[in-house]
Amino acid sequence: MKMIGHQAQQQQMAEQLKQDHMNHAILLHGPKGVGKSLFAHELAAAYLCENSTTWACGTCQSCHMLTGDAHPDFLSLGRAYNDKQVQNRDINVAQVRELGHFIGLTGTRSQHRVVILDDADHLNRQAANALLKGLEEPAQGCLILLVCEKIQHLPITVRSRCLLMPFSALSTEDCLHVCQNMGISKAYLDLAQKLAQGQPGKVIDMCQEKKAQALLTLSQLSQKPLDMIAWQLWLETHLSSLSHHMIIELICAPYLQNLQQLKNFEQHQELSKALWDMACWPERLRTHSLRPVPSLLAHLLHLEDVSHKA
């Protein structure tokens, strides 16, 4: 298997595959960007592989078809994109019916079929009810893999019919290894690791040299005394093309350090509040019609202001 980390989960699945005794539905859940979807795809490949009793051989016809995205016994579903190329908020009942139809068919290449349902915590109520039927009466040889971040958003009726497989953040070492494999240049690995915090999927943008360089510049800016002109220039150039959460994390890092050293209660409260406001900025940008650069600069000035008092 090409997976890095998650050894316990790998071992559990290898065991089930070897004994040819798979749970018919498995719910892979845990934080974003730790490789749950990748794990589900690896598991699907292994289950469909014609040679392997543990992990996919990579050479049989089934493995080739899967790599070519043309396997008749494999279906992958998630949140669809609308006409404006924006991802829908929910997985709807029509998609789950497609899934139901697929698992009701018999395997064309072998007795096995696999469905991966990504973002399963975005199933709407009607869709979750429709999924229950497939989970209650599984077709022979069919494996359903549900992948999600927030397991509590799934109805208990769905959860209780699956084998629960929790995932957690990767160790520092494994995270570094994944970042390297993703193709992040050596010069940015330290920063990538710092931002990823065991969730390398969060820093996938840093595979692009331009974005990685911009983040490195931001990280250096945030460590220096506040230079509003440099900040404004940076924000005007890069704000629209980078993850707002990554930007906020870098901005807040030095102030968080400062916060830990504050002993005065009022000052602590004031800085905490300013940090919280900054953390909420990406969400407010979406819900209110704020001008991105000036509103972010205002938060930054306020942070600097209450931090100086300290």
1 is a contact residue toward Zn ion (CB under 5 A): no
For the CB of residue 45, give the shortest distance to Zn ion in the complex, in Å: 7
3-state secondary structure of 26: strand
* Cβ atoms within 10 Å of 288's Cβ, excluding its own: 8
For the CB of residue 280, give the shortest distance to Zn ion in the complex, in Å: 48
Q: Are 248 and 295 in contact (CB under 8 A)?
A: no
With contacts defined by CB under 5 A, how many residues of the chain interact with Zn ion?
6
For Zn ion, the closer of residues 61 and 208 by Cβ is: 61
* Cβ atoms within 10 Å of 111's Cβ, excluding its own: 10
State residue 243 phi and psi, 5-degree precision: -65, 125
For Zn ion, the closer of residues 43 and 195 by Cβ is: 43
For the CB of residue 10, give the shortest distance to Zn ion in the complex, in Å: 17
For Zn ion, the closer of residues 56 and 147 by Cβ is: 56
For the CB of residue 47, give the shortest distance to Zn ion in the complex, in Å: 10
For the CB of residue 55, give the shortest distance to Zn ion in the complex, in Å: 9
Out of 25, 43, 63, 218, the only residue in the binding site for Zn ion (CB under 5 A) is 63
Structure-token pair, residue 300:
């930054």
Cα 168 to Cα 38: distance, rounded to the nearest angstrom: 14
For Zn ion, the closer of residues 47 and 231 by Cβ is: 47
Q: Which stretch binds Zn ion (CB under 5 A): 49-57, 112-120, 145-153, 230-238?
A: 49-57
Q: Are 236 and 208 in contact (CB under 8 A)?
A: no
146 forms beta bridges with: 27, 117
For the CB of residue 53, give the shortest distance to Zn ion in the complex, in Å: 11
91 forms beta bridges with: 123
Out of 60, 65, 204, 262, the only residue in the binding site for Zn ion (CB under 5 A) is 60
49 is a contact residue toward Zn ion (CB under 5 A): yes
Out of 14, 38, 57, 293, the only residue in the binding site for Zn ion (CB under 5 A) is 57
Q: Which stretch binds Zn ion (CB under 5 A): 56-64, 140-148, 194-202, 208-216?
A: 56-64
Radius of gyration of the chain (CA): 23
For Zn ion, the closer of residues 18 and 125 by Cβ is: 18
For Zn ion, the closer of residues 1 and 262 by Cβ is: 1
Reference 117, options 197, 211, 218, 44; nearest CA is 44
117 forms beta bridges with: 77, 146
For the CB of residue 58, give the shortest distance to Zn ion in the complex, in Å: 6
E strands, the chain, are 25-29, 74-77, 113-117, 142-148, 163-166
Site for Zn ion in 137-156 (CB under 5 A): none
Residues 6+ apart with CB under 8 A from 59: 51
For the CB of residue 2, give the shortest distance to Zn ion in the complex, in Å: 13
* Cβ atoms within 10 Å of 144's Cβ, excluding its own: 25
- Which parts of this chain interact with Zn ion (CB under 5 A)? 49, 51, 56-57, 60, 63
